[in-house]
Amino acid sequence: MNRLIAATAGGLLALFSMYWDDSLHTDVGRDTFWSAPHVLLYGSLMVTLAATAWWGIGRARSQGLRTTMADPLLRWAVVSAGAIGVSAPADEAWHIAFGRDAVLWSPPHLLGIVATFALAVTLLRAIATEGGGRPLVLGSGLVLAASLAPVMEYESDVPQYSAVWFLPAAATGLTFAIVLIRRFDPHPWAVTRAALVATAVRLAVIPVLAGLGHSTPIVPPVLVVALAADAVRRWRTSPWGLAPVVPLAVHAAYVPLLPLLPHGSTVAADQIVPSLLLSLGGSALVVLAAEGLPRTRLPVIRTAGLTVAALTLALPLLSAERAIAHDPGQGTEAGEAHWRTTARGSRIDVTVSPEPSASGRAVLVARRAGQELSAPLTSSGVGVYRGYVTVPESGRWFVYAAFRDAGASTTETWIPVEAGSSQLLHENRPLYVPPAPQKDGAGRTAATVALYGLSGVILVAVARSGRRTPLPQG
């Protein structure tokens, strides 16, 4: 059991590393592979995998190798470790073949997140198999915290896509975690206990990142969602009761709090209804994958349910545009730029002084959540450019200054700015030659389908793992 506790602690440390890495990208940009958060992330994952392997060896000694090899927990540990091992080289190969792609939902990044979630579920199952007890709370907390990793960029106000996808992604992930926690943790308040652990972890992350001078994520109000899920369990044992309850609780908790929380992406009033509908579809899809449809004598109902669920799954992939909010993968450094930036409500005024001096056309670009606004930069002296841009909403915007000379070469520099505030910034930022844009084509499409497909297969298999009994009729 101590080995599993060490593995779970390593998983929680890995989640902290992910938020640290995200804040570093937000404030500074992409760093080297050997940056502190990367080293901590891969080191903590190695601790988790090593402790899991140690646990497997212990089981082999006590139960025999043949029995241990037939254990589904060991197979899942191998699958999770293999997927984590594949995601890192796949990400590097992706950048080499198709260009920079720093969005969290890119196929290689999503595979790594899914593999980490699968490993967390494996640890929870292993703890339950070993007798549960207090360590089960830690395992459940890890699963719940890992389910929120896909919305990390929204939680730190770096939305790559429209905010309409924020709460559906959160509700779908939370539903997934809650179904599995209820499956492996019999305590009547299992989800609430897990939410307390996840909240404590986030409360520990924030002061550390603030002390390092980096942006911080929000503290998600998952405790409200957990209380609703546990309350529902008292009057409806079927997991299908979670399909409407979790999305409704997520929106009731998040929507009024997000405008009050620093560094959280808000959901506009006209996005609430589509957000709720997408959340209901995502949560129903999770329960369908985990438990199947309630038994019915009408095959048409089952077929219609499967069709709606499949369309719900495909909708985000079919409708989402290319992420252009922020790509911190700078290219070759070409100098330095001094920024003086003033945010007054929706207007952002900028003075940029690149060194060495730039010539030719200069443009100011502001990006957030799939939106891109451009404005001219006017030269007002040797190497000094001024301009402003008016943005349609508050929050963190990434403001770029791009300089294109007569030889058609381009250099750029960027800075994060909080619109809707009274912010004055004086900073020196790198001036760099941006890498080539992403390459589209059959190769990229095939790689996308393969990596997303692998992630989907793992998620479905995780959802159906460890089922003890068929779902009772609701």
Q: How far apart are CA 407 and CA 390, in angstroms?
A: 30
Query: Nearest to residue 13, comparing CAs of 47, 61, 54, 57?
Result: 47
pLDDT of residue 406: 65
What does pTM read for this prediction? 0.86
Amino acid residing at 83: A
CA-to-CA separations, 434 to 13, 35, 141, 181, in angstroms, rounded: 33, 21, 40, 45
CB burial class (10 A; 0-12, 13-18, 19+) of residue 371? middle
Q: How far apart are CA 92 and CA 98, in angstroms?
A: 10
If you search the block for the tokens 């001078």, which residue do you land on? 213
Q: How far apart are CA 124 and CA 466, in angstroms?
A: 11
According to DSSP, residue 164 is labeled: G
- Helix 135-147 / helix 166-184 crossing angle, nearest 10 deg: 160
For 144, residues 6+ apart whose C-beta sits below 8 A from its C-beta are 174, 177, 178, 181, 191, 194, 195, 197, 198, 222, 226
CA-to-CA separations, 433 to 231, 301, 356, 436, 466, in angstroms, rounded: 55, 56, 13, 9, 51
CA-to-CA separations, 230 to 227, 352, 473, in angstroms, rounded: 5, 54, 20
Q: In this prediction, what percent of the chain has a pLDDT beyond 70?
A: 82
Per-residue confidence band for 333, with pLDDT thresholds at 50, 70 and 90: confident
Q: What is the pLDDT of residues 149-195, one digit of tens each?
A: 999 989 998 888 888 999 999 999 999 999 999 999 888 899 999 99
Domains assigned to the chain: 2-323+445-464 (no CATH), 332-433 (2.60.40)
Element (H, E) at 45: helix 36-63
4-8, 136-140, 196-200, 201-205 — which is least confidently predicted?
Answer: 4-8
Mean pLDDT over the full length of the chain: 82
pLDDT of residue 385: 92
